Amino acid sequence: MKIARLIFLLPVLACLAGLAAADEGMWMPQQIPALASRLEALGFQGEPEAFADLTGQPMGAVVSLGGCSASFVSPEGLLVTNHHCVIGALQYNATPERNLLEEGFLAKTKAEELPNGPGSYLYVTTEVSEVTGDLARRLTPDLPDRKRYEVVDRWVKERTAACEKDGSRCRVSPFFGGLRWFEIRQLEIQDVRLVYAPAAGIGNFGGETDNWRWPRHGGDFGMFRAYVGPDGKPALYSKGNVPYRPKRRLAISPDGVAPGDLVFVAGYPGRTERHKTYAEIAEMTEWELPRDIRRATELLALADELAARSPDLEIKVEARRRGLANGLTNDRGVLEGLVRGGVLEKKKAREAALQAWIAADPKREEEFGGALPGLDALTADAARTRERDDVFDSFVGGRSSIMEAADTIHQMAVNRLKKDADRERDFQEREWTRIRERLDRMQRSLDPVLDRAFLRYTLVEASKLAADGRIERLDRAVGLRAGMTCDEASKAIDAFLDRLYAGTRLFDREYRLSLLDKTEAELREAKDSFLDLAAALYPFGEQLREEDKTRRGARYRLEPVYMKALLASSSGLVAPDANGTLRVTFGRVSGVDARDGLYYKPQTTVQGVLEKEAPGGEFEAPKPLLDAIAALRAGKETPYRDAALGDVPVDFLSTVDTTGGNSGSPTLDAKGRLCGLLFDGTYDTVVSDILYDPVRTRSIHVDSRYLLWVLTEVEGATRLLEEMGVGK
């Protein structure tokens, strides 16, 4: 397939010199050739153009798991990623009698490899093409904002449909706030199976105590395998499928890294907000993050209480618990950086400088002057109803799996009557299989006790809304009103939940899936309490969607102008904010001055596992790992001992620029070998997602030698080692 080779120097930047400071930049692969001089200065001897070849080496081996990244490491579709990226597969296959979340898993043969369950996909990006001009021809300055949204929405659907005619999975995404648009073509593999995950005492060693912290001693690695139909084409899970044979794969380095080494990370970072306006970041600081921290704290306590009731509930709630805990730590770090770290004030100063730059030239004022005030007005407008809108989104959007299922089923019925191009994007025909799989997969973690507890939490939030910001349709259904005492609201909520859960059959998998083909009239005839509630709330949901579409239309008008000004006032090539697409970042293995008088060394070893090891908690290491370390101390030879460290390395720090979604990304050495896996950042610099800290920002990786040593000495995984081409 022909690869789009783009030289991504924006016209507005063509006359500007210099490169991005320090190691900042989650670069599009097509931008890397323009960074050749910087890479050469860092000692890179390879060809920067190789990164722009998305089907070549190494980029053709890097894949997205839809939230995490991974890479092929064998000719038979074996993938390596993080342990925390295989948690869903472990939970899906775990039982109280065989708790894979704690024990881990190793398939001795391909026949023993476990299905991840419905909805497990991986994506290999094969082509990226700029399509900005095609959209520009459809837009005129006089378009009303709601109409502008419709034009963009219809265009995205048409391009996506045309791109997917050959069986690819495609997306059309804005970069730089819609100043540039790119069409991204991907190979979609639909059968992904669990091959290996270490015990929790290796993969999650240190738990939440060490999360986002350094020094770390976690073996955050796991393995999947990709399968396809006997004809070699992507196919849904079937016992008759065969291992996928990738065109590209990464060699795993037995040498690991050393301080000062140049490393690259290729993966799919989720989201950064470095180009957001000050008003948007202020809204995040003053309301969004405090709300998220409060909620996560309360919901985590609720999840812990529920998990303590039974081993079955503990397994079903575990993925939610880990997600809440991880997000809570991250949000606290970001908020501290914004407030105590002064990032919010720095953001304000930078925006003031931009405004002064615009005002200094009448032509710039004419072209760019209205963008920031317009965007700030949109932020203020959304803030007026933020409490109400957020509670509603939480209520129908996943806090309760059954409520989310009911809302999905109802929206499917509404959208099915429309032509595909007129449907909401999430309910177009290309999404129907995924919707069915999502409603199928939830069965493994579904429980009435859990579901009711989390839905009740959101109803309590709804009961506390101010009188001028109520969700009236929900109030009528539950029996709530403004000014109720907590006791009155609790009684009304509990009575409502009794009726709601007594009147539904949606916990039944087959029944739930059968409803996806029903009409609105047939759903009403079912007289299911959750479906009736979804129908009653639907008009309010439509109202919010309409308001959002108008705001998005305004953003399609204003954000490109703002970004053009921001880029024109900058110096050098600039990376777009992360948006879940394939990126490359580079830096060096390096420690950091953490705070006054404290320096973090760039590497840790298995000695740190022994020093932290404590039975009965987050630092309880499994006996096979302790035995392997004891054998190492007794003189057992291993090729994975670092001569300079005198020990087997575990994790290392580097200056690469990464964020959530990069988890599982391969860390490559200067020869293009996999020398580690990216899995975390450091707590005091997570705010770099908003304003990059060129001095202290570090990413955390697990060393390839720890992976190979554990597979050899702890797991005895000879079959996997041989498959990856690793000698004894």
CB contact at 8 A, 7 and 180: no
Residues in the chain: 728
The helix (run of H) or strand (run of E) holding residue 626 is helix 623-633
Phi-psi region of 422 (alpha: psi -120 to 50; beta: other; left: phi over 0): alpha
The separation between the first and the last C-alpha atoms of the chain, rounded to the nearest angstrom, is 38
- Other beta carbons within 10 angstroms of residue 195's beta carbon come to 26
Q: Given CA atoms 43, 48, 54, 57 in this order, what sign does their dihedral have?
A: negative
The string over 351-371, giving b where at least 16 C-beta atoms fall within 10 Å of a residue's C-beta and e elsewhere, is beebbeebeeeeeeeeebbeb
CB contact at 8 A, 500 and 459: no
Say which residues have a Cβ less than 8 Å from residue 340's Cβ, sequence separation at least 6: none
What residues pair up with 443 in beta bridges, in sequence order?
none
Q: Given CA atoms 415, 418, 419, 424 in this order, what sign does their dihedral have?
A: negative
Residue 167 — φ and ψ, nearest 5°? 95, 0
CA 336 to chain centre: 22
DSSP 665-719: PEEE-TTS-EEEEEEEE-GGGGGGGTS--TTT--EEEEEHHHHHHIIIIIS--HH
Q: For Cα atoms 581, 188, 60, give the angle at the middle one, nearest 5 degrees.
A: 60
**Dist. CA 582–CA 171, nearest whole Å:** 12
CB contact at 8 A, 511 and 540: no
Residue 470 — φ and ψ, nearest 5°? -85, 160
Q: Give the residue from 683, 700, 698, 653 showing the smallest Cα distance to 212.
A: 683
* Beta strand spans in 155-215 (E): 169-175, 180-189, 191-197
Alpha-carbon distances of 433 from 161, 412, 426, 436, rounded to whole Å: 16, 12, 11, 5
Cis status of the peptide bond prior to 215, with omega within 30 of 0:
yes
Q: What is the dihedral of CA 52, 54, 60, 62, to 10 degrees?
A: 80
Q: Give the residue from 648, 647, 646, 708 showing the smallest Cα distance to 677.
A: 708
Q: Give the residue from 61, 38, 42, 66 showing the smallest Cα distance to 50.
A: 61
Catalytic residue ranges: 84, 220, 663
CB contact at 8 A, 709 and 114: no
Q: For Cα atoms 228, 230, 231, give the angle at the middle one, nearest 5 degrees.
A: 90
Q: Name the 3-class secondary structure at 588.
A: strand
Alpha-carbon distances of 618 from 210, 471, 614, 622, 625, rounded to whole Å: 9, 42, 8, 11, 15
CB contact at 8 A, 714 and 628: yes
CB contact at 8 A, 681 and 693: no
Alpha-carbon distances of 517 from 8, 18, 416, 436, 550, rounded to whole Å: 45, 57, 9, 10, 31
Tokens of 259: 């301080």
CB contact at 8 A, 69 and 62: yes
CA 198 to chain centre: 22
The string over 309-329, giving b where at least 16 C-beta atoms fall within 10 Å of a residue's C-beta and e elsewhere, is eeeebbbbbbbbbbbbbbbbb
